[in-house]
Amino acid sequence: MTVKILSITLLLLSVCVCCHSSEGTRRRHPGRIPPCCPAVTKGNRTAEVVGETYREQAASGRCVKAIIFNTEYGQLCADPDAQWVKDLTAKMKKA
């Protein structure tokens, strides 16, 4: 009888641990909202940008003020005060 109780207890504990760890993942990246930029690149990376859209991110908590572009490999967090970023966003607004 003790072995059965121990087995059931370990099974329930495993299920709880699995559920708890997957719940934490959902909280960090809910839905399709991408994570914020904790830092920005200052070097000119115009050639890596794909598409004609970008989004602005305000500084909040661990997130810094940034312009976020899409690249072939994911998002690119750029310094909004960098000249290449200003030029590229101006070009995108015209298109």
H or E element in which residue 66 lies: strand 66-71
- The larger pLDDT score, comparing residue 12 to residue 47, is at 47
Confidence of residue 26 (pLDDT cuts 50, 70, 90): very low
Sheet containing 74-78: give its strands across. Answer: 49-57, 66-71, 74-78
Specify burial of residue 31 (Cβ count, 10 A radius: 0-12, 13-18, 19+): exposed
- The stretches of 1-95 forming alpha helices (DSSP H) are 2-28, 83-94
Please, what is the average pLDDT of the chain?
80
pLDDT of residue 10: 59
- DSSP assignment, residue 60? B
Task: Name which CATH class applies to 34-95.
Answer: mainly beta
